[in-house]
Chain A
Amino acid sequence: MERNIALIALFAALIAALGIIPAVMLPFGVPITAQSLGVMLCGTVLGARRGTLAVLLFLLLVFLGLPLLSGGKGGLGVIVGPTGGFVIGFPVAAFVAGFVTERWRGAPLAVTAGVGAAVGGVVLYAFGIAGMAIVLDKTPAQAALLVTAFIPGDAIKAVIAGLVTSALYRARPRAVLSRA
């Protein structure tokens, strides 16, 4: 119990800390940070259930008014903003990434976690595009056009999530709960 709480809280803090690490700003104002990588790692390392809880805890603190999203954003405004769909999709993406990593045991962890993070990323984009379509009053196809610039970066992040998860499993096998 104590261990679960501590791991969930520290991974929530990890998402926040990864958002502070210097970002590359792309046009459209959405910065490329390691923050969504942190969300994927919650799923691939902690597993579907605990990973989702870690992301939910992180989001709760964001909504309560702490500037934990990349670029020092936070508060209730992020939900109704154009990127709100991505934020709402975070816990679902972590769940999907964790689910794939937990259930698929037939391949090396680097592959299963990487694929899990990629599938989680697809889900994340579905939420993000839906949110943008609602807020900007566009069709989903038109909204998708606005986010295509970020897809290469997130594909790379999925590969990194796979590599990091498998390296963590070698270094701290007990902490990789998705394989425990």
Chain B
Amino acid sequence: MISLTSPVETWAHGWPAGAKLAALCAATMGLFALDSVAGQGAAFAMMLALYAAPGAVFLRNGLARLRMLWPFLAVIFVWHLVTATPAEGAIIALRLVTAVGLANLVTMTTQLSDMIGVVRWLAAPLRRIGIGTRALELGIALVIRFTPMLAQKGAALSRAWRARSARRPGWRIVLPFTLIAIDDAERVADALKARGGV
């Protein structure tokens, strides 16, 4: 499965993932504490500069991921136009785009394996007090493996439906789809047990 990590190698790809996450937390809290248009504007400009630094491909890719915010920005724009509070509207809109942009930036510059490394590190205290994290690691691997497979089986189900009916497959397809997931789970459980269990 393709993760959201950017294939464009940046300097930030090599930074420790934990440090990036900590910096992101601090930056986001700072953004929500900052109450001036100029401050939010400066933060927004800095965020854009971070996106632009690795080059045009990275910038275009990053901005495309912010496109899902447009409807909300439109609502904010209309709302604050009607209530005649443009300054508050600008702060909210800039803060929204900057916060989401910075978070996406961390996701784009961190490999999935590095992120899983952070989870392992966070779970280390659990191991020390005797709680196994093997189940968690196995669970992560299973979801990564089975999501594309289930999606494929779902697509096959809906093709089978279309071959037999003129109507669109609606909610009725959810039942056989869930049955597939349950039956697969039973087989996976048997396979795990047969290989020595967890």
Which A residues have a C-beta under 8 Å from some C-beta of B?
1-3, 5-14, 16-18, 20-21, 27-30, 34, 37, 41, 45, 57-58, 60-61, 64-68, 71, 73-77, 79-82, 135-138, 146, 160, 164, 167-168, 171-172, 175
Contact = CB atoms under 8 A, between A and B. Distances in A.
B34 interface: no
B96 A135 contact: yes
Given A7-B182, A7-B185, A60-B140, 10 more contacts: A1-B135, A1-B198, A13-B146, A13-B150, A14-B177, A34-B174, A45-B178, A57-B139, A64-B119, A77-B103
B140 A61 contact: yes
A13 B143 CA distance: 5
Interface of B: 1-5, 21, 24, 28, 65, 68-72, 75-76, 79, 88, 91-92, 96, 99-101, 103-104, 106-108, 110, 112, 115-116, 119, 135-136, 138-140, 142-144, 146-147, 149-151, 154, 158, 171, 173-175, 177-179, 181-186, 188-190, 192-193, 197-198
Given A1-B197, A61-B143, A76-B24, A6 B179 contact: no
B158 to A, nearest CB: 7
A172 B185 CA distance: 12
- The 4 A-B pairs with the shortest beta carbon distances in the complex, nearest first, are A75-B107, A9-B142, A29-B71, A76-B103
A29 B72 contact: yes
Contacts of A45: 178
B103 A74 contact: no
Nearest to B169: A21
19 contacts: A1-B197, A2-B189, A7-B189, A9-B146, A13-B146, A13-B181, A21-B158, A28-B75, A29-B71, A58-B143, A65-B107, A66-B144, A67-B3, A73-B68, A74-B4, A76-B21, A79-B103, A160-B174, A175-B185
